[in-house]
């Protein structure tokens, strides 16, 4: 296979070739070895939820029912529901870690963390009904932590941040009985419903899946975002660099990979320590270079301007540069394939979470109390490893590309002069025709980054402002779309707005849990206009998604009223009922649905048509 067919990125293409030469097996090699993949699983038609099975359904044949009697519709809906539950669990459990950190700070139980954004702490506490006047910061933090801890379990009423959705939307959720209650509760209930002999009704299962996803978007993920801002600072526009060129030939290179900022922020503090830099110099290096991969990279980039080495499919290739001393990971999206890859070099992978251990990696556990000392240990380890680097095997393939980041909603509001009015005016006048959220992963089924970049270019050309998160954001950054100069690729309206505000036509709004920022913004705009989110000229897309988290994200956008175009078909095609609901029927239920297309030009067309339709309805 031609390397150009695997990725549009120069750094990836060069490194795939080097990986092959160095004997590194990559995700593409393993993907090939897995062909042909199981068509039952692909359609969602296999079930192993009990030990009378596993069952595989052949619709219309003698094998049209599982041993228990479950049919294709039930099995497809159950499998989909469990995927949503796993994705929501991942985001929300990450949110819980931030919450436990806030709780530890509030109770003076840690010296490794502090509250960096007191103003936001007070704002969020007030929003959730906590009286803050005359109270000490730590007291407010304690009350906020206590209140949010309840959101995870059984509480009376709904998840607090759902109040950020307009009232019509909340009423719709109530009428459908999908307004999320406790965060953990919805995930547990999905596991219950999908046990053999519980919920067999595909519509009922899908509605609960929607409720699970809403508990992620307006619950676990939103808590993760807001508490990360309170603990580590609310992002402000910042310039940094992206692609494998951010690795440095003459410095100790440390990569952080995973999702939570708890570990990566502690590592950053140690990396910036002057004594450590001196130690690195004594070891013959010019300094210590920290760079990110995937979403914990996005967290550091958004708040601290730390450069980004790459997204999901770049992780093995980063190791193949031969220039990486340590890869420090927490959890999610970390391919176990990194272990044999790093064994080809002097590189070491360190796991830090009790929830994510990898045989072959060294486990150095982080908790709220020891984070500083553990991070110090890791930096010293990286400096030692630098001495073992084989300089003849190092290849840093390209020069890095500049990118802007840090567009939290607070920062966007500030760029607009403190109110949403200029954005709404631009939308009303048609200078900006609409807003698109581009999110999600890479997937070896698709040419790496091709859909993210092509779709973004199409959208901005049509005067649609693009907000990017996760691995999609990294792709846009690498393509130069996150610089104000990219306004020249935008349509005349969007371009004029960008020039006036000196912002790029595509904005980096964060990691995957930060999709909650997009939900929040939709809620603010809808309230301001006095309409539902489903009335707004907005659309979402996950053009190269792979993970269960992305399924949850896609569904909470749809259940919140945002039309969402997927570039990879979910495993639901074995049920016509479920597929029809997802691609059409949901519109009558929640005012939005999914679409699937693999061609980014067609995806753009779908999104643009949708936005035009919504504009017309609003008489714009």
Q: How far is the CB of 47 from ligand SF4 (least distance, A)?
A: 3
Alpha-carbon gap, residue 378 to 504, rounded angstroms:
36
Of the candidate spans 68-76, 135-143, 301-309, 433-441, the one that interacts with ligand SF4 by CB under 6 A turns out to be 68-76
- 452 interacts with ligand BF8 by CB under 6 A: no
Q: Applying CB under 6 A, which of residues 471, 525, 555, 590 lies at the interface with ligand BF8?
A: 471
Nearer to ligand SF4, 196 or 620 (CB): 196
Backbone angles phi, psi at 587, to 5 degrees: -55, -40
Burial class (CB in 10 A: 0-12, 13-18, 19+), 370: middle
> Considering only CA atoms, which of 577, 603, 527 is closest in space to residue 169?
527
Q: Do 467 and 557 form a contact (C-beta atoms < 8 A)? A: no
Q: Residue 52's binding partner, choosing from ligand SF4, ligand BF8, none, with beta-carbon cut-off 5 to 8 A by kind?
A: ligand SF4
Which of these ranges, 63-71, 103-111, 360-368, 547-555, lies near ligand BF8 under the rule CB under 6 A? 547-555
Judged by beta carbon, residue 49 or residue 462, the one nearer ligand SF4 is 49
Q: Does residue 512 bind ligand BF8 (CB under 6 A)?
A: yes
Q: Which does 471 bind (CB under 5 to 8 A by kind): ligand BF8, ligand SF4, none?
A: ligand BF8
Sign of CA dihedral 98, 104, 109, 114: positive
Cis peptide before 50 (omega within 30 of 0): no
Q: Minimum distance from CB of 601 to ligand SF4 (Å)?
A: 40
Q: Residues touching ligand SF4: how many (CB under 6 A)?
A: 14
Question: Is the CB of 66 or the CB of 219 nearer to ligand SF4?
Answer: 66
Taking CB under 6 A as the criterion, the residue among 441, 459, 486, 522 binding ligand BF8 is 441
Are 293 and 255 a contacting pair, CB within 8 Å?
A: yes
Name which of ligand BF8, ligand SF4, none residue 336 binds, using a CB cut-off of 5 to 8 Å depending on partner kind: none
Q: Which is nearer to ligand BF8, 442 or 454 (CB)?
A: 442
Neighbours of 248 (CB within 10 A): 17
Binds 49: which of ligand SF4, ligand BF8, none (CB < 5-8 Å by kind) = ligand SF4
Phi and psi, residue 39, nearest 5°: -75, -25
Q: Does 455 bind ligand BF8 (CB under 6 A)?
A: no
Q: Which of 116, 151, 121 is nearest to 136 (CA)?
A: 121
Assess 191 for contact with ligand SF4 (CB under 6 A): no
Q: Which is nearer to ligand BF8, 295 or 361 (CB)?
A: 295
Nearest to 481 by CA among 513, 520, 511, 449: 449
Q: Does 66 bind ligand SF4 (CB under 6 A)?
A: yes
The answer to whether residue 53 forms part of the interface with ligand SF4 (CB under 6 A) is yes
Residue whose C-beta lies closest to ligand SF4:
53
One-character DSSP codes across 511-544: SSTTHHHHHHHHHHHHHHHTS-GGGSSEEEEETT
CA–centroid distance for 461 within its chain: 25
The answer to whether the beta carbons of residues 607 and 464 sit under 8 Å apart is: yes
Per-residue binding string, ligand BF8, 305-344, x by CB under 6 A, is ------xx--------------------x-----------
First to last CA, the chain: 48
Residue 524 exposed, middle or buried by CB count within 10 Å (0-12, 13-18, 19+): middle
Stretch that binds ligand BF8, among 208-216, 452-460, 545-553, 589-597 (CB under 6 A): 545-553
Q: At what angle do helices 515-529 and 221-232 cross, to 10 degrees?
A: 100
Least distance (Å) from ligand BF8 to the CB of residue 50? 29
Residue 25 interacts with ligand SF4 (CB under 6 A): yes or no: no
Among 550, 572, 581, 592, indicate the residue that binds ligand BF8 (CB under 6 A): 550
Helices (H), 306-403: 315-319, 338-342, 371-386
Q: In this structure, what DSSP letter does residue 7 have? A: B
Binding region for ligand SF4 (CB under 6 A):
47-50, 52-55, 66-68, 70, 75, 196
- Chain positions contacting ligand BF8, by CB under 6 A: 259, 294-295, 311-312, 333, 440-441, 470-471, 512, 547, 549-550
């Amino acid at each position: 296979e031609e390397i150009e067919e695997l990725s549009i990125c120069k750094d990836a293409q060069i490194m795939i070739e080097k990986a092959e030469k160095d004997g590194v097996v990559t995700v593409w090699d393993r993907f090939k070895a897995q062909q042909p993949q199981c068509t039952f699983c692909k359609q969602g038609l296999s079930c192993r939820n009990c030990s009378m099975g596993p069952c595989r359904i052949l619709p219309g044949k003698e094998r049209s029912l599982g041993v228990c009697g479950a049919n294709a519709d039930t099995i497809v809906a159950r499998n989909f529901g469990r995927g949503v539950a796993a994705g929501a669990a991942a985001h929300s459990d990450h949110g819980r870690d931030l919450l436990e950190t806030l709780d530890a700070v509030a109770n003076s139980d840690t010296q490794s963390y502090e509250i960096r954004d007191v103003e936001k702490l007070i704002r969020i506490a007030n929003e959730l009904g906590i009286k803050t006047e005359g109270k000490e910061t730590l007291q407010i933090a304690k009350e906020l932590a206590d209140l949010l801890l309840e959101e995870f379990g059984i509480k009376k009423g709904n998840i607090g941040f759902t109040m950020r959705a307009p009232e019509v939307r909340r009423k719709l959720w109530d009428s459908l009985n999908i307004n999320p209650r406790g965060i953990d509760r919805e995930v547990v209930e999905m596991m219950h419903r999908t046990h053999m002999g519980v919920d067999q009704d595909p519509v009922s299962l899908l509605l609960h899946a929607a409720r699970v996803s809403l508990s992620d978007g307006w619950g676990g993920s939103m808590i993760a975002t807001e508490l990360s801002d309170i603990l580590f600072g609310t992002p402000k526009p910042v310039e940094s660099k992206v692609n494998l060129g951010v690795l440095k030939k003459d410095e100790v290179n440390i990569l952080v990979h995973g999702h939570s900022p708890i570990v990566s922020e502690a590592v950053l503090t140690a990396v910036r320590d002057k004594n450590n830099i001196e130690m690195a110099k004594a070891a013959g290096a010019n300094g210590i270079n920290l760079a990110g991969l995937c979403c914990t990279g996005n967290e550091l980039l958004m708040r601290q301007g730390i450069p980004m080495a790459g997204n999901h499919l770049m992780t093995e290739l980063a190791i193949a540069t031969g220039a990486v001393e340590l890869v420090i990971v927490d959890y999610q999206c970390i391919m176990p394939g990194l272990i044999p890859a790093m064994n080809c070099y002097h590189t070491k992978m360190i796991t830090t979470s009790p929830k994510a251990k990898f045989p072959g990696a060294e486990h150095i556990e982080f908790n709220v109390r020891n984070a500083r000392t553990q991070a110090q240990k890791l930096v010293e380890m990286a400096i030692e490893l630098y001495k073992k680097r084989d300089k003849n095997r190092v290849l840093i393939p390209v020069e890095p590309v500049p990118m802007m980041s840090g567009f939290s909603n607070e920062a966007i509001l500030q760029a607009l002069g403190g109110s949403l009015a200029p954005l709404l005016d631009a939308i009303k006048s048609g200078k900006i025709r609409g807003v698109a959220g581009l999110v999600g992963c890479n997937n070896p089924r698709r040419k790496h980054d091709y859909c993210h970049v092509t779709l973004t270019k199409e959208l901005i050309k049509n005067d649609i402002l693009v907000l990017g998160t996760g691995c999609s954001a990294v792709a846009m950054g690498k393509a130069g779309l996150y610089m104000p100069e990219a306004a020249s690729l935008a349509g005349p309206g969007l371009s004029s707005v960008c020039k006036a505000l000196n912002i790029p036509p595509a904005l980096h709004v964060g990691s995957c849990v930060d999709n909650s920022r997009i939900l929040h913004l939709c809620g603010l705009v809808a309230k301001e206009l006095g309409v539902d989110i489903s009335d707004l000229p907005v659309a979402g897309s996950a053009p190269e998604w792979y993970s269960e988290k992305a399924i949850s994200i896609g569904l909470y956008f749809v259940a919140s009223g945002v039309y969402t175009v997927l570039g990879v078909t979910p495993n639901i095609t074995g049920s016509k009922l479920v597929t029809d609901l997802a691609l059409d029927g949901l519109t009558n239920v929640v005012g939005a649905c999914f679409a699937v297309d693999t061609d980014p030009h067609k995806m753009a067309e779908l999104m643009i048509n949708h936005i035009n339709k919504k504009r017309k309805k609003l008489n714009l």
